Structures are given as structure tokens and as C-alpha cells.
């Protein structure tokens, strides 16, 4: 524990030196996006300075170098989430595009009228709207698993709403609003015994817990690089090869084809079938450094540090008068959505910003969850590996001062 | 010309805060607290200003040819901003309201309320005043 090199870590993230409104930045909005270490920033500019080139099609040296570096990220993320093969790793723009890829592609052949899809009340809009769209188009029924008052998936409710018509379950691994870690292994097991396709939204989990897709045994796992210290505009769909093989492409264009004739086109092999057009090469390359960064620190060490920080924050936050945390599962990460009696989250967000503290306010793209708890929004503190107990103290003191105003 | 002077007054009032964001927000909240008590009965759908992260209500009375506004918000900072708009627009004729160009906001260090998502709040508040003026013309 003591060996977690927090001081040098903070130096690795140049933005943490910023002054915001004459205060040191306290960045507590990590569930929205995390900051990037220098190594990620450098690798992106290095790509543009030294070997910018389009990938896969060139015979020249720059193209070869760019292609190699791009594909190294695929290998890296494959190992990071323990996929079986590189063909199971598809690059996207992010979690949102990933879920849309899955829903559109499966929607073209997998579902027929009256089939059912299950999501939960705690899903991000990215894991609601694509399913609503396909449900509308194909006349499917979309069911939502109840979330308990503490902020946990109601497993009994899940078992009750499964039917012989259930074709797919799409569920968040860790809730961006509640911080709850869902029992996805158990849920996927139920899916697998009932021949139901499982999709896991790993946007919040990828940086804060160990991901092993073979162990989870889900059909799809989706994530965003920018929530794991990597660049924006890059995401991954992991899919079991058998399913990806049979699925039709999501977009048509260059790169995803084998042969194009006006009489018809044959598609490229996996994973390129799903990667039409020039991808976000520089940022995919930068993503590799983000994973390197996490691996060099050690995920177990990171989790240990973050758990301790979570416990500290939970204790300190609860010392604030009128403070109510939304999401009290015993299995959660350092995400605290909260309300303070007689203090609107919008005012709180602006007043904290004046002290250099970045928190998110609003519905966090989880409106059904807000409705469930009868809230129109909350403020949210979300922690990452570079946050400290001192920052938590400063936050708590600042809020207490505001309350005594 | 009168509305110019009200906006200049506001700019002067804020000058002592020297652009300090924290003091500016606190001052805004104090201004909001000084608004006349808003009639709870008027917190109905037709008086809501659309497009705010916070809730805002605005009503008015007409006396002679002048409009007098009252408003409320569920957030203290927005209520402060609203109080400034009420100070500027209240007691003016519809034509005067429509002719008034707002320029004070950038000059009191609150640029952040214009041209970003948050600002939609301010812009929709401003629009509501103008829509009321138009409909009473
Ligand atoms: C749980 C969850 N799912 C999906 C998303 C969407 O991710 P992206 O915006 O990177 O596509 C987010 C981002 O906030 C999230 O927290």
C-alpha cells in the first residue's frame, strides 16, 4: 500500500499541475473522462511527427510502421481483457458506437417480432437508446431489470423477466452513477444456460477492475479508451469470434471489404469487417500507452489504492450535514452521486468549480435511474488512481464552508 | 438609453469583486435572495423557462404600457442571474424591452454563462422576456 507511488504518478499527468480559478485543480470527474499521462500524449504526437500514414494498404515504410503500431494496440488490449484472439477485438469510437454496432448488426438477422431484450434501470443512455431503436424497428419488447433502493440489480426480478422470448441481455458492469459493481458473471451464466446473448458495458469498469472476458464468458464486452487514461475517440468491442463471424457488417466502405464488384462485394476477415474506413490511427496508438501505464503500475496495486481512497472518501463525505449518497451497494467503486439537503447540485457544481474542484452535475445520462429515485439530478464525485486523501479533505472542507455560508 | 445605464450600474456593482469567481457567485446568490417572494401558485407549466439545467419561472404584470416581472428559480445562482434580468427589463415598455441589447454579462466576468451549454439557461431566460414583450405589443 505504502509503495503506491502517488507523488510520481501525479507528476505523470501534466494537467494536474493546472490552476483553476486560482486554485489547484482537484479533478473529481473521472467517470466522465480520465486525464492522460504524458506517455499517452507523447505517443500521439510522436505518431504525427514521425510516422503518420494510412494503415493496412501501403507498401511503404511509414505505412508499415503505422500499421504495426496500430496492431500492437490490438494485441495489447486483447491481453488486457484476456480475449482469445486479436480477431475478437474491434476498434470503434467508443462504448456508444460499440453498442450501436452490436445492436444494428444483430438487429439485421437475430431478432424477430415479439422477441425480448433485457437491460436494467441503471443503464447509461448509450445502453438504452440503441436497444429502443432496434426494438421499435423490429417490434421487440424491451424490459428493464429493477434496481433496489441501495442501487443493486434485483437478481430475482431479472430471473422473473427472463422468458423463452428473451434473446439478449445488455448490462452495465459498473454503474457510472451509482458506482455499483454488478454480479455480471452470475448474470452471464444465467444467460448462457438460457441461450441468451450477453452484452456488457464496461465503460466504467475497464480502468477500475480486472477484466477477463473468458472468465466472465460474455458474448460482448464494450469499453472506451478515454475512461482508462487513453485518448478520446477510441473504443473496443470484444465479441466472441463465432458471433462476430456470423454478424453482418455495421458500416460499408474501405478496409472492410475483400473484393468489390458492382455485382456484389465480399467482406474482409475479422476484425476488419467491422472497421470500415480509415480508423483513428493516432489515438489507437496512444491507447496502447494508456494500457502500458496501467500495467506498469499494476492493476492490483491500483485497485488496492482506489479501494482505500473510496473507503476514506465514503467516511469523510458522510460527515457532511444533509449529505445523501445515491448508491450504497457494498460492492462499489469510488463513484459517489449525492444530494445535499437544501443545496441544488447546480449551485454546488459552480461553487466548487470556483475552488478548482471539478465534479459533474445533472442526470449523468441515466435518466431512468434518476426517475426511479425521484431525483432530477445529483452531483457526482468520481475518483481515479491519481486522486488523494488530501483532495478529498479539501473537497469536504469546501462543501462544509459552503454550507456555513 | 435608460437600460444602458442600468447595465452600467450592474457592471459597476460587480467591479469591486475584481473578477473573483467565488465572490461573484456569492454576490449573485445574494442578489437572488433579495428578489420579491414569488407566488407559489405561479409555478406552473406555462411560466417555466425552457432549456435551463435549473428550473426558472417568470411572470409579469402590465401597468399602463409597462411590464413588471417577477420570477424564481430552484437554484440560487440562476436566481441571481434572473434578478439581474428582472432589474434590467422591469418597468419598461414592450418596445423598450425588445430594443434592449444585453452586454453586461461579459463585463461582470460571467462569460461562462454565454455560448456554452450552461448559457442556454441565460439565453432562454432572456428569450422569455422578449417573447412576453412581443406578445404584449
Ligand atoms: C456506463 C457507461 N456506458 C457508456 C458510456 C458512453 O461512453 P462513450 O461516451 O465513451 O461512448 C459511458 C460514458 O459516460 C458510461 O459511463
Q: What is the pLDDT of residues A51-83, one digit of tens each?
A: 999 998 788 999 999 999 999 999 999 999 999
Give the least confident one: A10-14, A79-83, A264-268, A388-392: A264-268
Residue showing cell 457510472: A176
Interface test with A, best of B53, B79, B116, B121 (most A CBs within 10 A): B53
Three cell numbers, residue A40: 499517452
Is the CB of A180 inside a 6 Å radius of any atom of ligand 1?
no
Is residue A218 classed exposed, middle or buried when 0-12, 13-18 and 19+ CB atoms within 10 A define those classes? buried
Length of chain B: 137
- Among candidates A234, A200, A194, which has minimal Cα distance to A217? A200
Q: Does residue A40 surpass a pLDDT of 60?
A: yes
- Domain with B114, as residue range(s), is 2-135
Is residue A1 classed exposed, middle or buried when 0-12, 13-18 and 19+ CB atoms within 10 A define those classes? exposed
B18 shares contact with chain A (CB less than 8 Å): no
B43 vs chain A: nearest CA distance in angstroms? 17
CATH of the domain at B96: 3.90.1010.10
Measured CA to CA, the distance from residue A257 to residue B117 in angstroms comes to 41
Q: Does residue A1 surpass a pLDDT of 50?
A: no
Nearest-Cα residue of chain A relative to residue B30: A405
Residues of chain A with pLDDT > 70: what percent?
100
Q: What is the pLDDT of residues B12-63, one digit of tens each?
A: 999 999 888 999 999 999 999 999 999 999 999 999 997 667 889 999 999 9
pLDDT of residue B106: 83
pLDDT of residue B4: 63
B76 shares contact with chain A (CB less than 8 Å): yes
Residue A126 contacts residue A276 (beta carbons within 8 Å): no
Three cell numbers, residue A301: 496495486
Locate the DSSP E strands across A146-196.
166-172
Measured CA to CA, the distance from residue A126 to residue A109 in angstroms comes to 22
- Among candidates A190, A195, A193, A172, which has minimal Cα distance to A182? A172
Residues of chain A with pLDDT > 90: what percent?
93
B54 shares contact with chain A (CB less than 8 Å): yes
Q: Which residues of A touch B78 (CB under 8 A)?
A: 346
- The conformation of residue A135, written as its DSSP 8-state character, comes to H
pLDDT of residue B117: 55
Q: What is the pLDDT of residues A326-383, one digit of tens each?
A: 999 999 999 999 999 989 999 999 999 999 999 999 999 999 999 999 999 999 999 9
Is the CB of A124 inside a 6 Å radius of any atom of ligand 1?
yes
pLDDT of residue B105: 86
Residue A180 contacts residue A329 (beta carbons within 8 Å): yes
Contact criterion met (CB < 8 Å) for B22 and A362: no
Which 3 state secondary structure label does DSSP give A63?
Answer: helix
Which ipTM value was assigned to this complex? 0.88
What is the sign of the dihedral through the CA atoms of A99, A34, A360 and B81?
A: negative
Which domains are seen in chain A, by residue range? 6-30+298-403 (3.90.1150.10), 41-294 (3.40.640.10)
pLDDT of residue A263: 85
Residue A383 contacts residue A30 (beta carbons within 8 Å): yes
pLDDT of residue A258: 87
Residues β-bridged to residue A336? A381
B45 vs chain A: nearest CA distance in angstroms? 16
Q: What is the pLDDT of residues A191-238, one digit of tens each?
A: 999 999 999 999 999 999 999 999 999 999 999 999 999 999 999 999
Atom of ligand 1 nearest to the CA of A226: 10
B29 shares contact with chain A (CB less than 8 Å): yes
Give the contacts of A324 (CB within 8 A, at least 6 positions apart). Answer: A338, A339, A340, A341
CA A95–ligand 1 middle distance (angstroms)? 6
Q: What is the pLDDT of residues A242-288, one digit of tens each?
A: 999 999 999 988 888 888 888 888 888 999 999 999 999 999 999 99
Q: What's the whole-number mean pLDDT along residues A117-140?
A: 98
Query: How far apart are the two ends of chain B, measured CA to CA in Å?
Result: 20
Is residue A70 classed exposed, middle or buried when 0-12, 13-18 and 19+ CB atoms within 10 A define those classes? buried
Q: What is the pLDDT of residues A178-191, one digit of tens each?
A: 999 999 999 999 99
What's the total number of domains in chain B? 1
Q: What is the pLDDT of residues B89-122, one digit of tens each?
A: 999 999 999 999 988 988 887 777 765 555 457 8
Residue from A102, A119, A126, A205 to probe ligand 1 pocket by mutation (most atoms less than 8 Å from CB)? A126
In angstroms, how far is CA B84 from the centroid of its own chain? 4
Is the CB of A382 inside a 6 Å radius of any atom of ligand 1?
no
Chains A, B: CB contacts within 8 A come to 30
- Among candidates B4, B31, B10, which has minimal Cα distance to B107? B10
Atom of ligand 1 nearest to the CA of A235: 10
Amino acid at each position: 500500500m505504502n509503495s503506491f507511488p502517488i507523488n510520481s504518478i501525479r507528476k505523470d499527468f501534466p494537467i494536474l499541475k493546472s490552476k483553476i480559478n486560482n486554485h489547484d485543480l482537484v479533478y473529481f470527474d473521472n467517470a466522465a473522462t480520465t486525464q492522460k499521462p504524458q506517455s499517452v500524449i507523447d505517443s500521439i504526437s510522436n505518431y504525427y511527427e514521425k510516422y503518420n500514414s494510412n494503415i493496412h494498404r501501403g507498401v511503404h515504410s511509414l505505412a508499415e510502421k503505422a500499421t504495426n503500431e496500430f496492431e500492437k494496440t490490438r494485441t495489447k488490449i486483447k491481453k488486457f481483457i484476456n480475449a482469445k484472439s486479436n480477431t475478437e477485438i474491434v476498434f470503434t469510437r467508443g462504448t456508444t458506437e460499440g453498442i450501436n454496432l452490436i445492436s444494428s448488426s444483430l438487429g439485421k438477422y437475430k431478432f424477430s417480432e415479439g422477441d425480448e431484450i433485457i437491460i436494467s434501470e441503471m443503464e447509461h443512455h448509450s445502453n438504452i437508446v440503441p436497444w429502443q431503436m432496434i426494438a421499435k424497428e423490429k417490434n421487440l419488447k424491451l424490459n428493464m431489470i429493477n434496481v433496489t433502493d441501495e442501487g443493486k440489480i434485483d437478481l430475482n426480478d431479472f430471473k422473473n423477466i427472463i422468458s423463452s422470448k428473451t434473446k439478449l441481455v445488455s448490462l452495465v458492469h459498473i454503474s457510472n452513477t451509482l458506482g455499483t459493481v454488478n454480479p455480471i458473471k452470475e448474470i452471464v451464466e444465467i444467460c448462457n444456460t438460457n441461450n441468451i446473448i450477453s452484452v456488457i458495458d464496461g465503460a466504467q469498469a475497464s480502468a477500475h477492475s480486472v477484466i477477463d472476458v473468458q472468465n466472465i464468458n460474455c458474448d460482448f464486452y464494450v469499453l472506451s479508451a478515454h475512461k482508462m487514461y487513453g485518448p478520446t475517440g477510441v473504443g473496443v468491442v470484444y465479441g466472441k469470434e463465432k458471433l462476430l463471424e456470423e454478424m453482418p457488417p455495421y458500416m460499408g466502405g474501405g478496409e472492410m471489404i475483400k473484393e468489390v464488384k458492382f455485382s456484389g462485394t465480399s467482406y474482409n476477415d475479422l476484425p476488419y469487417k467491422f472497421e470500415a474506413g480509415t480508423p483513428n490511427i493516432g489515438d489507437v496508438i496512444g491507447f496502447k500507452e494508456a494500457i502500458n501505464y496501467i500495467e506498469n503500475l499494476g492493476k492490483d496495486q491500483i485497485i488496492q489504492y482506489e479501494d482505500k481512497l473510496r473507503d476514506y472518501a465514503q467516511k469523510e463525505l458522510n460527515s457532511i450535514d444533509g449529505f445523501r449518497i445515491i448508491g450504497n451497494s457494498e460492492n462499489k467503486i469510488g463513484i459517489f452521486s449525492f444530494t445535499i439537503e437544501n443545496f441544488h447540485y447546480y449551485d454546488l457544481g459552480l461553487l466548487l468549480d470556483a475552488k478548482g474542484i471539478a465534479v459533474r452535475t445533472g442526470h449523468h445520462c441515466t435518466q431512468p435511474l434518476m426517475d426511479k429515485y425521484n431525483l432530477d439530478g445529483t452531483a457526482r464525485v468520481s475518483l481515479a488512481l491519481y486522486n488523494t486523501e488530501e483532495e478529498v479533505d479539501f473537497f469536504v472542507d469546501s462543501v462544509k464552508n459552503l454550507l456555513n455560508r | 438609453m435608460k437600460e444602458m445605464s442600468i447595465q452600467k450600474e450592474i457592471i459597476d456593482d460587480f467591479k469591486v469583486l475584481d473578477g473573483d469567481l467565488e465572490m461573484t457567485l456569492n454576490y449573485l446568490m445574494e442578489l437572488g435572495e433579495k428578489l420579491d417572494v414569488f407566488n407559489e401558485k405561479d409555478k406552473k407549466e406555462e411560466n417555466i423557462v425552457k432549456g435551463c439545467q435549473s428550473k426558472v419561472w417568470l411572470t409579469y404584470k402590465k401597468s399602463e404600457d409597462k411590464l413588471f416581472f417577477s420570477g424564481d428559480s430552484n437554484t440560487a445562482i440562476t436566481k441571481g442571474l434572473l434578478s439581474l434580468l428582472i432589474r434590467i427589463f422591469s418597468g419598461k415598455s414592450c418596445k423598450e424591452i425588445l430594443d434592449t441589447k444585453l452586454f453586461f454579462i461579459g463585463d461582470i466576468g460571467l462569460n461562462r454563462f454565454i455560448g456554452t451549454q450552461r448559457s442556454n439557461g441565460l439565453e432562454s431566460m432572456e428569450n422569455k422576456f422578449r417573447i412576453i414583450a412581443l406578445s404584449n405589443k
